[in-house]
Amino acid sequence: MNSTRILCALAYPLLTLAGLNAFSPQAGTAQVQPAQTPSPSSIAKPFGTVKLVNGNTITLTTNSGSEVDVLVEDSTRLVKTAPGQKDLKGATPIQLKDVQAGDRVLVLGTAADDGRSVLGSTVIVMKKTDIADKQQLDREDWQKRGAGGLVKTVDQPEIKSSRAISCGPAEIAVRTGMN
């Protein structure tokens, strides 16, 4: 695809958001127009796994399997957060060089007309190694506190299951209602 076309497609929404209409007949006069709110269709929030970081572009494979190129500018906010966090209070600023293939990323930005590119305003990163560590801790916790076995019966407020424990088989009941 023509890189000039991509640049124009990405620059126009940014300039419009900044209140500058660079494509007006008076573009050389730096005319300032009222800032416009981006239309809901131009707001993009791709989420997925980093496939490649090349220069100032992150190629992202979304959860649906499509690829999105995220343009990261100097003004783009990049933060790292831990898996499982519900807000960005504990997030730490990072640089683009810290983003690697395999990291999980949520991007907030403006979609380009091609539908494949996003001008990122905020990039939230969960490091691949942090995710693996969290999954390992979850597995260990499940093995300590979890129960496994074969379901014997299902009676509406409980499920009866047989389970092998260290001193032999036992029957447990899992209550599913508020009783």
120-170 pLDDT tens trace = 999 999 999 999 999 999 999 988 887 777 777 777 665 555 554 444 566
Q: Please state which CATH class domain 39-132 belongs to.
A: mainly beta
Q: Domain locations in the chain? A: 39-132, 147-179
pLDDT-above-90 percentage for the chain: 49
pLDDT, tens only, 27-52: 333 333 444 455 555 888 999 999 99
pTM: 0.62
Q: What beta strand segments (E) does the chain contain?
A: 43-44, 47-54, 57-62, 67-80, 92-93, 104-111, 117-126, 150-155, 158-165, 168-175
pLDDT for residue 98 is more than 70: yes
Q: What Å distances lie between residue 70 and 21, 33, 61, 135, CA to CA?
A: 23, 27, 11, 27
- Which ranges of the chain does DSSP label H, i.e. alpha helix? 3-17, 128-145
Span 1-33, pLDDT tens digits: 433 333 334 333 333 333 333 333 333 333 334
Query: Which pLDDT score, from 0 to 100, does residue 148 have?
Result: 72
Q: Which residues contact 132 (CB under 8 A, 6 or more apart)?
A: none
What are the φ/ψ torsions at residue 56 (nearest 5 degrees)?
-105, 25
For residues 106 and 88, the answer to whether their CB atoms sit within 8 Å is: no
Query: Which residues is 159 bridged to in the sheet?
Result: 154, 174
Exposed e or buried b per residue across 100-127, where buried means at least 16 C-beta atoms within 10 angstroms of its C-beta? eeebbbebbbbbbeeeebbbbbebbbbb
Quote the pLDDT of residue 149: 74
- Residue 163 φ then ψ, to 5°: -145, 140
* Sequence letter at residue 128: K
Q: How far is CA 101 from the centre of its chain?
A: 14
Tokens 């447990």 appear where? 172
